């Protein structure tokens, strides 16, 4: 997917129906699987941070004061649907928000325990084979800038999840695949993909 380097962080929404815990299956929706126009569902491993308190209009230099900790997030995406929606200038919502499209975990590491969240190896394996491998130092917008920009728009609340974007290597998952997403100092989340019955 070719996209331009953004001038500001680009935000989109996943609704809470997407969230699943470590070890839970990712259900591959039938309406995607059975439709040739939509039958690609991709993995995207991301570093996520959790908000600790209500905040609005915060400055980058105070960003970390509002971070509870870090975790791993999988931004599962119906890629063909997303591309087809983008091509006709539609919102990105539906391709990102099927149930089970937001695995998260395996734990929240307190922000005190990770001195530099922008120097963590991040990777994703499918069936044991590495598909995404990078380091959070390559993020264009770092956590303080993301938080400063995002909090200009909305009030963030305790427990809100901000996922920071995925490195290269995104690609399709298939029913029966085992997905392992890892970030250094946080751990690994493991999910089996199961076709919806």
Which one among 21, 130, 140, 154 touches other proteins, defined by CB under 8 A?
A: 154
Closest to other proteins by CB, 31 or 130: 31
For other proteins, which stretch binds (CB under 8 A), given 16-24, 126-134, 172-180, 186-194? 16-24
Q: How many CB atoms lie within 10 A of CB 166?
A: 21
Count interface residues toward other proteins (CB under 8 A). Answer: 29
Closest-CA residue to 94 (of 147, 29, 153, 157): 29
140 close to 4: Cβ distance less than 8 angstroms: no
Work out how close the CB of 15 gets to other proteins at its nearest, in angstroms, rounded to a whole number.
Answer: 4
Q: For residue 15, what are the contacts with CB-CB under 8 A and spacing of at least 6? A: 97
Least distance in Å: CB of 152 to other proteins? 5
Q: How far apart are CA 14 and CA 34, in angstroms?
A: 23
Q: Which pair of tokens denotes residue 96? A: 């990102």
> Which member of 53, 59, 155, 168 binds other proteins (CB under 8 A)?
155
- Interacting residues toward other proteins by CB under 8 A: 10-13, 15-18, 29, 31, 56, 86-94, 97-99, 152-157
């Amino acid at each position: 997917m070719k996209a331009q380097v953004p001038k500001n962080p680009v935000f989109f929404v996943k609704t809470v129906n997407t969230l699943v815990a470590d070890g839970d299956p990712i259900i591959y929706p039938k309406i995607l699987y059975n439709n040739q126009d939509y039958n690609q569902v991709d993995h995207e491993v991301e570093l996520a941070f959790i908000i600790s308190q209500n905040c609005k209009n915060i400055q980058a230099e105070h960003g970390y004061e509002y971070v509870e900790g870090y975790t791993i997030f999988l931004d599962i995406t119906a890629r063909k649907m997303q591309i087809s929606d983008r091509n006709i200038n539609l919102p990105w919502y539906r391709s990102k928000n099927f149930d089970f499209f937001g695995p998260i975990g395996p734990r929240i590491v307190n922000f005190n325990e990770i001195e530099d969240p922008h120097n963590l190896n991040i990777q994703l394996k499918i069936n044991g084979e590495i598909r995404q491998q990078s380091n959070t130092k390559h993020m264009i917008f770092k956590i303080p800038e993301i938080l400063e920009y995002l909090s200009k728009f909305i009030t963030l609340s305790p427990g809100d999840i901000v996922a920071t974007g995925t490195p290269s290597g995104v690609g399709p998952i298939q029913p029966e695949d085992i997905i392992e997403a890892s970030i250094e100092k946080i751990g690994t989340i493991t999910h089996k993909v199961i076709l919806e019955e």
